[in-house]
Chains A and B, each alone.
Chain A
Amino acid sequence: MATLELDGIKKKYGELEVVEGLDLSVEEGSFTVFVGPSGCGKSTLLRMIAGLEEITAGELRIDGERMNDATPVERGVSMVFQNYALYPHMSVEKNIAFGLKMLGLPRDDIKRRVAAAAETLQIGALLKRRPSQLSGGQRQRVAIGRAIVREPRLFLFDEPLSNLDAELRVTMRVELAKLHRQIGATMIYVTHDQTEALTLADKIVVLRDGAIEQAGTPMELYLDPANAFVAGFIGSPQMNFLPVTTTGTDAGLRLSSAELYALNVVPDGAGWGADMTLDLGIRPEHLQVGEDLPVRFDINVDVVENLGGTRYVYGSTASGKSVIAETRADAIPRAGDKVTVGFDPVRARYFNANGQRLRHKLAA
């Protein structure tokens, strides 16, 4: 178990800066997930922590010790790759034992640790097989086995589930969460799948264009996003954004738009003003089909996605803005229907033209 601190970490390829002076601390025993769209620098950052990628500037500390130039073994990291990267010419047993062999451990010790890892991951029966004789899920277990057997200070996972089918991904996700609880090690996990991030993480770090957009617990990011990018990235389906204009004074503003009945907000912090155009963000699960919520407007239904327990209604407002609402009612709207949707203003979030969050108190 270890702590990790990144202090002004930068990565440049020639003139191209892919990671821009990043600060982050990862607590001992935590499960931290780096999430972001393709090309946001999350994998590069992970590889810099692993020691596979040089650090252009800044300092990387593990347990307080500077590790910028240390080898992966000196850093005490192990890594699970997206493509598993199992050595095809070795049996499962030899794959798992390889790192220990490189450390020069005695044979009995290696055998004992491989057996323990195999038991943890329930792959004892596969030890004599070659990677080509395993299924995707089994390969991923072996790859994890290869990582845990070294008892590293830091576990790094680079999109480890993205090659598995949907069902297996869910199973492995639960197993990873269990594994973390069982061994209690510090884990850093990279994914572009926000569901994985929300379900696994103690702390999520949202990255975009090589910079941290927001870092916090899953619920902090879900309930209190720092900007429109995080608000849109975390949560599925994506948050709805409706343009609204403000009138009134800084003490009390009135929001209106083509869709909404007028809505009052009391600003809480800077950035607000009259005659501004803002984005009102409301999550689909908070935009409910029905007449009983305080803020309401009508939509024309385009498609209904029935997930059994819940249904997502994809529609468009009078001004042609696409929105997603939820309904749990048994009466399912049909394409072409006109339905009323509504939300509680407590659930709304506001963002300025640059996507920055504008905080508010609920109007009396």
Chain B
Amino acid sequence: MTNAQNTHTTVNEERQRLFRRVMVYVALTVVTLIMAFPIIWMVSVSLKPTVETFSLPPRLLPNSLYLDGYTRIFENPQFRRFLLNSYLLGIVVTILSLAIGTLAAFGFSRYRFFGDKAAKLFVITTQMVPSITLLIPFFGVIVWLRLYDTIWGLVLTYLTFALPYAVIMMNGYLDTIPRDFDEAATIDGCSPLGVLFRVLLPVAAPGLISTAVYTFLLSWNEFLFALALTRSVEMRTVPVGISMMVGEFGLKWDEMMAFSVIGSLPVLVLFMLVQRFVVSGLSAGGIKG
């Protein structure tokens, strides 16, 4: 092959690579816009007076900066209550699921006992039942336990969803940690729980954090059970609060969307944290791999 041919081939390859790169970015931009549109529209509507929301042609940006929706939300103690309820519920459910779930997962991962496989299978099968089919039985149980219209009724209900997930997820993470760590820690003088808390959990931190985020979001976003198992306005959560705006206060789109934005913020912040923490291969280095 001559030099000229060589140069020609190189230029062609360069062009093809550039073209492929451009196409990838075009595809990514289109997908991102489609996925992000509802969020962008939500933010846009929250910043516009209701009259502007339905103007034709639709406009993404408001004529002037309009924050009345947000102001009214923060001024209304009811909405603050909804936020407080949602946070309280999310935090309690997360802490309880992690505490109980991690201990159960440690048992499943590190010990063999009679019926262990059946028990694990049972935990997994609980995830296969559509939650809506459980609504009526749960209602009955919660009323019977005298927990209707209380935060604890919701905590108990959400735990039944979050806990199996926490067990499965933490069991998966703990299974990936070699037993050598347990044994090294035992030789160093740790009790079984010492092994879990001093060695396994720090190594499984990414798993712990993603499980925490998932259980928090599960509780934060849940609507159906929160609606069915509470009655008084003081016990409502953010998703139920948003839905209440439709009926009770008419359709104040700016307020509704402002509250939705406020309601989505923890989700966004948590996802950013997850990205920061779920660093693959934290356990790399300790064990020859």
Contacts and interface: CB of A to CB of B under 8 A. Distances in A.
A50 B184 contact: no
A73 B184 contact: no
A163 interface: yes
B276 interface: no
A87 B183 CA distance: 11
A47 B185 CA distance: 14
Interface residues of A, number: 33
Interface residues of B, number: 23
Interface in A146-167: 146, 150, 163
A72 B187 contact: yes
Interface in A257-277: none
A89 B202 contact: yes
Contacts of A99: 187-189
B286 A81 contact: no
Given A83-B287, A130-B285, A133-B285, A52 B187 contact: yes
Nearest to A90: B202
A88 B186 contact: no
A363 interface: no
Contacts of B188: 98-99, 102, 146, 150
A25 B184 CA distance: 25
B138 interface: no
A83 B180 contact: yes
Contacts of A349: none
A79 interface: yes
Nearest to B190: A102
A87 B200 CA distance: 9
Contacts of B190: 102
A83 B284 CA distance: 12
A186 B190 CA distance: 23
Contacts of B202: 87, 89
A52 B110 CA distance: 13
A186 to B, nearest CB: 16
Interface in B178-202: 178, 180-181, 183-190, 194, 199, 202
B141 interface: no
Nearest to A50: B187
A293 interface: no
Contacts of B187: 50-52, 72-73, 77-79, 99
Contact of B203 (A77, A83, A89, A136): A89
Given A83-B178, A83-B180, 15 more contacts: A47-B183, A52-B183, A71-B186, A73-B189, A79-B183, A79-B187, A84-B288, A85-B183, A86-B286, A89-B203, A89-B205, A98-B185, A99-B188, A131-B286, A146-B188
21 contacts: A50-B183, A51-B186, A51-B187, A52-B183, A52-B187, A72-B186, A73-B189, A79-B184, A82-B180, A85-B286, A86-B285, A87-B181, A87-B185, A88-B203, A88-B285, A89-B205, A89-B282, A102-B194, A103-B189, A139-B285, A163-B288
Interface of A: 47, 50-52, 71-73, 77-79, 81-89, 98-99, 102-103, 130-134, 136, 139, 146, 150, 163
